[in-house]
Amino acid sequence: MPRTDNRQDRIADVAIVIPVLGDAARLRTLLDLIAAWERQPREIIVVAANADTRSSALCEQRGCLYLTSEPCRGRQQDQGARAAQADILWFLHADAAPCPSSLDAIARAITEGAEGGHFRFAFSGMPMRRKKAIAWLTNLRVQLGGIAYGDQGIFVRRAIYLQCEGFPHQPLFEEVELVRKLRSRGRFQTLATPLRVSPRRWERNGWVRQCLNNRRLALAYACGQTAHRLANQYGPPAPVQADMADGGPRP
């Protein structure tokens, strides 16, 4: 009996878009994680804020498409989305730790009629009560109608993304309008699969302080302050840009 090559069966029609800003070490960790999965994405697109030789070399080694942009997470993600060939876009931050079953979960949701969705928020690292409490509150907030932010791994069919005009070119809260538009269509799904994110900013800034600052920024944005102005309030310039490239304000 002839052997059959089922490699194509292991390729999901998904483009993973990763905005980065000089975080080659975390990008390497994420790419290593993805490379170990049984099912692989059709393409991985890394959009760096300014040229980064380490990230560029890493992408060349791993067969990823490497693009450059100005430091603006909304612009970076939009540029990657418009360069993609796959039917489904999945936006990941460089400090994310997605589960091996994530591509299967996305494919299943799309097959069942979803146009897009996001994963359940969770922290990486050692289990802690404060981590569980913040993750539970974050997921409850989204369940009650709050915005799912980028660290929850937003995915969407590329055609729908373009219909919704994609991410605005702004450094913070670029997800808000897109998620609202997707929800209004009625086919935006919350997946049970967790997406773990780094707790480094909470550990650096203090758990309570970081949570309060996130809510302050979200409230200010909802009240009409611009994303660019809030980005300037987020902290010193260098840390701001590093965090905006792989996290941004979280609930």
CB 81 within 8 A of CB 166: yes
172 within some domain = yes
- 153-163 core/surface letters (b: 16 or more CB in 10 A; e: else): bbbbbbebbee
- CA 146 to CA 148: how far, in whole Å? 7
pLDDT tens string 50-80: 878 899 999 999 999 999 999 999 999 999 9
- Residue 1 within any structural domain of the chain: no
On whether residue 52 sits in a domain, the answer given is: yes
Q: Residue 243 has what pLDDT? A: 42
Strand positions, DSSP E, 50-87: 65-69
- 97-113 residue pLDDT tens: 999 999 999 999 999 99
Enter the pTM of the model: 0.89
Report pLDDT digits (tens) over 122-149: 999 999 999 999 999 999 999 999 999 9
* Full residue range of the structural domain in which residue 233 is found: 7-246
Start-to-end CA distance of the chain, whole Å, equals: 56
Tell me the average pLDDT across 10-32.
93
Distance CA 120, CA 112 (A): 18
* Domain-located, residue 110: yes
Residue 251 inside a domain? The answer is no
In the structure encoding, which two tokens stand for residue 20, read together? 């980065």
The string of pLDDT tens digits covering residues 147-166 is: 999 999 999 999 999 999 99
In a domain, 13, yes or no: yes
What is the spatial distance between Cα 238 and Cα 221, in angstroms, rounded to a whole number? 22
Domain count, the chain: 1
Give the chain's mean pLDDT: 89
**CATH of residue 241:** 3.90.550.10
Report pLDDT for 234: 62
